[in-house]
Structure 1
C-alpha cells in the first residue's frame, strides 16, 4: 500500500498496539493474581503452568493488535473481464472477545462489496474479519470497522457487512440467556443509498442466490 495513503487511515487500521505491553513475567504474574482471586491454589499441579499457557493463548487470541487490516487490502486486481456486480463472502466464522468482560463472542460475518474497476483476493476479506475479531471488541464497532476499512482502502461503490454472533457475556453471566443471537449491519455507498441492493445482499447471504 502507498505510504501516503496509509498515513491518512485511522489508527484502528494500523499494525501497532495502542499501548506499551508489559513483560512476559508481568503478564504471568497478573494471571497468578487472578487465579488466587478466583479462589484456587496456583501452586497445585494442575495450575502451575497455567499463567504461561494463558499468556501464550492471549498472544494468539489478540494477535489482531499486531496486524494491519488495511495492508491486507493493499493488493488488488483490475483484470476482471468487466465484472462490476456484487462480490459476497458469507459465513466467515470468527471468535472475538467482549471488551466489557473479556469473554468470547462467537459468530459469523457476511461481507459484500460492489467493485469499481478492481477486486481484492477473497482470502483478504477473511483476514480483515480475523484481524478485527482478534482484538477486544463490541459487535457494533467490529461491524463498522470491517465495512469502513474496505470502503476506505478499496473505494468500491459500496460495502455491506452483517455479523451474527452469540455473546458469552450474556450466556455465561448476568442474565444467562443461552442461544440468543445478536445481528448487526453496516452499509456504505450504494448499499446504504439503495434499499434494493440491501435486499439483494441479504438474499444472497441467506440463500446463496442472486435475485433481481
Structure 2
C-alpha cells in the first residue's frame, strides 16, 4: 500500500507550462494562484507584460512592489520555489506579430486590457492553436461583484456580447474558452477586487484542468 501511495505522489508533480499574457490586476492574481498550487500545476509559468508598476497598481504595492518595477519581474520575485520545482519566466514586453514565438505554453491565458485588445488576442489564439495549445480569455469582467460568471467555449455564446462577436469576426469560432460577467464598459459599472478574485479563481481552475488533460 505504501508503494502505491508513493507512486501516486510521484505523479503529482509540476508539469508543463502555462503562459500568462497580461500581468495586471487580474493576471497577477492568476499568477499568484498558479505559483501556490501544490501536488501538480505548471512547472513553468511564462509571464508576459510590457507595463511598469505605478501608484495605481494597489495590489502590487500592497505586496511590496516598487514603482517602476516591471510587472512580470514582480511575479517572478513572488515565486520563491526552487527553480527545479517551479519557476516563472519573465518577459517584460507586449506580445505582437514579431514575438508570438515566445509563447510556448500548453495552456495560454490571455488577460490583456486597455483599448481594443481583440485583434492582438485573436493573433495569440491562432498561434496557440497552431501549436496545439488550449486558450482561455475574457470578454468583459465589469460588475460590482455579485454577477454570474460564465465560462464556456466561444461557440456556445450568442450574439449579445460584442467582444465575443468581434473575436468571432477575427476567425476565432471554436476551441477557445471565454469567461465573462456579461458586463462590459458600456454598462458603466466598475471592476471590483471581488470580481477579479472570482474571475482569477475560475480561470486558474480551468487552466489547471486543461494542463492536466494536455499532459496525461
Given the two structures, how large is their TM-score scaled by the length of structure 2?
0.24
State the structure with bigger RCO (CA 8 A, min sep 6), 1 or 2. Answer: 2
**Larger helix proportion, structure 1 or 2?**
1
Q: Which has the larger radius of gyration?
A: 1
